[in-house]
Amino acid sequence: MRTGATRVVVERVGDTAVARELISGDFLAPRFVDARGLTVRIALVGHSATLLAGDDLRIEFVVAPGTCLEVIEPSGTVAYNARGGRASWSASASVGAGAALIWRAAPFVVAGGADVTRRVDISLESDAVALLDEMIVFGRTGETGGALRSDQRITVDGDALLVETLDLSSVPGRSLPGILGGHRVLGTTMLLGIKTSDVVEGHVTPLAGAGMLARAVADHAHEASAALDPIWSQWRGRVSQKYSD
């Protein structure tokens, strides 16, 4: 079992942001890309096969008040056939007052025979923003895909903004209408800390609090991306404007 966490800490020094900690975990190494003004960009680079039975991949982000952390993933994550075992993946982020986290994750593939839990915990302080994009793919080419339970908890100043559990462990269950309906790809884009509209439109649903959620199901990853890319670009512009030079 491998459990070492990947950790990134961004701090503010005067009018600039710096990557104070870049700690490699058992599976991912954070690599500095660049820093401009109050924005730091890092890449999460895989250096070990993931996820195998017993693996526990953990990611931790700390973003200081007034700074922006952008995370890039050059390659995706694959949860392999667990052969009776289980694996877990989790990410936590603490985003300080007036700060931002931008993370467009690479696809998370649940291979045939996999049994994996996935958890995201994000704590936003006052005026903080998180823009997240994720894509779950059930099965590689020719596979049905294994079992996945996905939990998300997002808070703003300690109050819950989004608490969600998706139990997609049963193939017959997740194939029902209103869930995946036979599709194998679930794409999600979230804007947390900002509400752009109170109207449900297309793939976009406003949250009860300050946030927006966009979802698309498809048979192929590129189809889900095509549906959500315009939404990501619009929301990305809204967040980036705050931290432009």
User: Tens digit of pLDDT for each residue in 188-198?
Assistant: 999 999 999 99
What is 110-128 written as a DSSP string? E-TT-EEEEEEEEEE-TT-
Give the tens place of pLDDT for each residue, 32-58.
999 999 999 999 999 888 899 999 999
Q: Phi first, then psi: give them for residue 3, nearest 5 degrees.
A: -135, 5
pLDDT in tens, 62-91: 999 999 999 999 999 999 998 989 999 999
Number of compact structural domains in the chain:
1
How far apart (Å, rounded) are the C-alpha atoms in residues 102 and 123? 14
Higher pLDDT, 225 or 141: 225
User: pLDDT for 86-138, tens place per residue?
Assistant: 999 999 999 999 999 999 999 999 999 999 999 999 999 999 999 999 999 99
Q: What is the pLDDT of residues 228-244, one digit of tens each?
A: 999 999 999 999 887 66
Range of the domain at 21: 5-242
Model confidence at 1, pLDDT cuts 50, 70, 90, reads: very low
* pLDDT surpasses 60 at 3: no
Would you place residue 2 in the very low, low, confident or very high pLDDT band (cuts 50, 70, 90)?
very low
Strands 204-206 and 211-218: antiparallel
pLDDT at position 36 is: 94
Tens digit of pLDDT for each residue in 125-181? 999 999 999 999 999 888 889 999 999 999 999 999 999 999 999 988 898 998 899
DSSP state of 201: B
